[in-house]
Amino acid sequence: MTTRTSWADLAANSAAENVGVGSSSDSIKVAGSTSGGGRPAYVPPHLRNRPLSVDPPAPTSSGPASSNDRPGQGGSSWAAARNGYNNRSGYGGSGVRGWGGRSGGWDRGRDREVNPFGNDDDTEQAFSEQENIGINFDAYEDIPVETSGDNVPPPVNTFAEIDLGEALNLNIRRCKYVKPTPVQRYAIPISLAGRDLMACAQTGSGKTAAFCFPIISGIMRGPVPQKPLRARTVFPLALMLSPTRELSMQIHEEARKFSYQTGVKVVVAYGGAPINQQLRELERGVDILVATPGRLVDLLERARVSLHMIRYLALDEADRMLDMGFEPQIRKIVEQMDMPPPSVRQTMLFSATFPREIQRLASDFLANYIFLAVGRVGSSTDLIVQRVEFVQESDKRSHLMDLLHAQRANASQGKQALTLVFVETKKGADSLEYWLCMNGFPATTIHGDRSQQEREQALRSFKSGATPILVATDVAARGLDIPHVAHVVNFDLPNDIDDYVHRIGRTGRAGKTGLATAFFNDNNSSLAKSLADLMQEANQEVPAWLTRYAARSFGGRNRRPGGGRFGSRDFRRDSSFNRGGSDYYGGGNNAGGYGGGYGANVASSWD
């Protein structure tokens, strides 16, 4: 067992970076709005945000306008993007429309667009010193990057190099994003060039913006959609799928910020919330639909949503979406409804982990795609200090209590960092929450047996610091971006190393440091090898007893073949794939390379 003193120091450091909770920060909202009542007609993006007059929008008269803002003009990067798009879709020819005045609101001014930055005022004041300003992106500077595929577009170093358009650039500034993260540097130019993408980058490294920016920009500049007239059916242009309700809500919130005053309308649909409210919101117009698979299938079966006009498909947490639980639903949505085929739409898959067998499945959804790995595929970021402690089942509670007491003792006055505790079962979550509360540690839970309202309330309460401990099952393991989580405790370790990677990734986000503690015992021996390997790769101290466990175990599901920095790289580069004329990817020999970027850290393609 490791010493407490060193843990306490770590906890204090991590907490010091993450303190500040106490404001009523609350970025998760219930979908939809009840205002409005009537059902206004769909207004395409190019007609929205225009003054009420029927005159065409005046071209910008001053300043270096981007091509996004000039009707009929295409900057070079956009020209490339549309070429890619037109090649695949045949939608071209109807003329790319420029963007006009951006005053006014939705629906020709009938409906005001709510400012998604408006509610953040408190949060801004409380956190502005700690958040995106001065983020330590230097931490990512020498991160290894690998790309493979045909003619990979070069990365950019700044947002200014990418012509995303004035309105989107303004929103990027409102978000206080000063420069792109490594995954954004590579993924955005690739997507803007119209290419399909399978991207793997570490937790908390900005993947959401990496797929949102090109989609929003693409819709703003795309041809005017000729949407079929079908009563009560809506035709989104982009679909973003994610595995959990809370993650879909979060993506929706982010996408709404990025698309504020661009005229691109984002709507979310997820289970557990009243469908009528979501239907009303959809009827008011939708360009980007963010959804969980189950609720989307429901909407498709009711013929309230058609995927016929989809130009962009993004799967967040793509490996999770294609594992056994979700794959049938995803196949139904992508292959058996009316979505255009891979060669017509543009598809982007993102995750921090991409097991080889899932890459193989995923390749069914992609056409001539580029594989991008930022950091080792499936690795954790070394911004997270990882500790593993040997704790018998019966000692777990008292051990957790010791950790929490140490953390409390080290917390700076009146300010408490957030702690996320992962357990295996829903019952276990409830019981641990009760016990913590009984012992003077305010806690709440999130798991699949709670109502959606309770889940949302729990997250709100945790985020605001009112209940600084959240006991969760894997429903909170992926994607959730909760500022100020200083400590993730794996009270029960997961069976799969990839789940461990996602869980600990709830801390140490966007350049900040974090701490992750795992309780290990004989029940977890099948995880020993992969855990020890992962920790070693992230330059963590591996306890001698864990190395002994690892030496004894055979790994099974969690064995990572290949080892090394790019142990789980693009599966198309496997020798078994390239032999025997596999039909997964036609052209292993003609793939172009990429030179440049991070110099020695960039692996060349198809080597």
Ligand X SMILES: Nc1ncnc2c1ncn2[C@@H]1O[C@H](COP(=O)(O)OP(=O)(O)OP(=O)(O)O)[C@@H](O)[C@H]1O
191 binds ligand X (CB under 6 A): no
User: How many residues at the interface with ligand X, by CB under 6 A?
Assistant: 20
Task: Kindly list the strands in the beta sheet with 469-472, ordered across the sheet, starting from the edge strand earlier in the chain.
Answer: 384-390, 514-520, 485-490, 418-422, 469-472, 443-446
74 binds ligand X (CB under 6 A): no
Shortest distance, position 182 Cβ to ligand X, whole Å: 10
Residue list 155-174, contact with ligand X (CB under 6 A): none
Nearer to ligand X, 130 or 368 (CB): 130
**Inter-residue contact 245 to 292 (CB < 8 Å):** yes
**Inter-residue contact 291 to 255 (CB < 8 Å):** no
Write the DSSP symbol of residue 332: I
Q: Which listed residue (19, 152, 192, 209) binds ligand X by CB under 6 A?
A: 209
Q: Which listed residue (17, 474, 481, 496) binds ligand X by CB under 6 A?
A: 481
177 binds ligand X (CB under 6 A): yes
340 binds ligand X (CB under 6 A): no
148 binds ligand X (CB under 6 A): no
Shortest distance, position 490 Cβ to ligand X, whole Å: 16
Q: Is the torsion defined by CA of 589, 591, 597, 602 positive or negative?
A: negative
The residue among 411, 402, 384, 397 whose CA lies nearest residue 468 is 411
Shortest distance, position 493 Cβ to ligand X, whole Å: 19
- Distances in Å between the alpha carbon of 65 and those of 62, 98, 215, 475? 7, 11, 20, 44
207 binds ligand X (CB under 6 A): yes
Question: What are the two backbone dihedrals, phi and then psi, of residue 288, each rounded to the nearest 5 degrees?
Answer: -115, 120
Segment interacting with ligand X, rule: CB under 6 A, options 113-121, 176-184, 442-450, 540-548? 176-184
208 binds ligand X (CB under 6 A): yes
Task: In whole angstroms, give the CA distance from residue 252 to residue 269.
Answer: 9
135 binds ligand X (CB under 6 A): yes
Alpha carbon dihedral 454, 458, 461, 467, in 10-degree steps, equals 130
514 binds ligand X (CB under 6 A): no
Nearer to ligand X, 96 or 255 (CB): 255
Q: Is the torsion defined by CA of 421, 8, 418, 435 positive or negative?
A: positive
Shortest distance, position 143 Cβ to ligand X, whole Å: 13
Nearer to ligand X, 147 or 306 (CB): 147
248 binds ligand X (CB under 6 A): no
Shortest distance, position 253 Cβ to ligand X, whole Å: 10
225 binds ligand X (CB under 6 A): no
Shortest distance, position 250 Cβ to ligand X, whole Å: 7
**Inter-residue contact 310 to 239 (CB < 8 Å):** yes
205 binds ligand X (CB under 6 A): yes
Task: In whole angstroms, give the CA distance from residue 192 to residue 213.
Answer: 9
Shortest distance, position 516 Cβ to ligand X, whole Å: 13
Alpha carbon dihedral 226, 227, 228, 230, in 10-degree steps, equals -160
SS (H, E, C) 172-212: HHHCCCCCCCHHHHHHHHHHHCCCCEEEEECCCCCHHHHHH
Segment interacting with ligand X, rule: CB under 6 A, options 17-25, 79-87, 201-209, 436-444? 201-209
Shortest distance, position 501 Cβ to ligand X, whole Å: 9
Q: Which listed residue (49, 181, 419, 507) binds ligand X by CB under 6 A?
A: 181
Nearer to ligand X, 122 or 574 (CB): 122
Q: Which helix (H) or strand (E) holds 351?
A: strand 346-351
Q: Which listed residue (149, 180, 236, 263) binds ligand X by CB under 6 A?
A: 180
203 binds ligand X (CB under 6 A): yes
Nearer to ligand X, 205 or 346 (CB): 205
Q: Which helix (H) or strand (E) holds 543?
A: none
Cβ neighbours of residue 528 under 8 Å, at least 6 residues apart? 520, 546, 549, 550, 552, 553
Per-residue contact string for residues 347-386; x = within reach of ligand X by CB under 6 A? -----x----------------------------------
Task: In whole angstroms, give the CA distance from residue 117 to residue 111.
Answer: 18
Segment interacting with ligand X, rule: CB under 6 A, options 6-14, 54-62, 205-213, 306-314? 205-213
Residues that bind ligand X (CB under 6 A): 132, 135, 177, 180-181, 184, 201, 203-209, 352, 479, 481, 505, 509-510
